[in-house]
Amino acid sequence: MEERGHELREAIARLERRRRNDPVPAPLRGEILLYTAARRETGASWLSIAQELGLSASGLQRWSAQATGETRMRPVRLRRGPTESTSAAQGAAGAIVLVSPRGFRLEGLEVSQALELLHGLG
């Protein structure tokens, strides 16, 4: 696997990209995505893979999301759950918690705040 990463890094370097957002040909991008998926399965972080290849972690994540169709907004279902009252720091009862598909979490939102946030993202 290490050898494949080295080969891909050299192929990327041969492109002589002047800027980070210069395009990478689709066939090479496909190979990069296959390598990235294999490395992620072994537990490698986005940052470590990006450093191996000489690319940005955010770029790899974006390419991966586009390839798997994860860039679309997903339907949201609201439900009432049990509230925890063990700590005042956890917020008022009935506060909303938003959790993204990748695990980003916002807690303690009021309904109006959650609606404003979702409207801004849409």
| Domain co-membership, 92 together with 118 | yes
| Shared domain check, 23 and 39 | yes
User: What are 79's two structure tokens?
Assistant: 């439900």
- For position 50, what pLDDT does the model report? 93
Same domain, 12 and 62: yes
Number of domains within the chain: 2
Q: Are 112 and 119 in contact (CB under 8 A)?
A: no
Q: pLDDT per residue over 63-120, tens digit each?
A: 898 888 776 666 777 777 665 544 444 445 567 887 777 777 888 888 888 888 877 7
Same domain, residue pair 12 and 61: yes
Q: Are residues 82 and 43 in the same domain?
A: no
Q: pLDDT at position 73, please? A: 65
pLDDT tens readout for residues 34-53 = 999 999 999 999 999 999 99
Are both 33 and 91 inside the same structural domain? no
Residues 59 and 83 in one domain: no
Domain of 21? Answer: 2-68
Pairing of strands 105-109, 96-99: antiparallel
C-alpha to C-alpha distance for 46 and 54, rounded to whole angstroms: 12
Same domain, 14 and 35: yes
pLDDT, residue 81, reads 67
pLDDT at 104: 75
Same structural domain for residues 63 and 17?
A: yes
98's enclosing H/E stretch is strand 96-99
Question: Could you tell me the two tokens for 117?
Answer: 């946030």
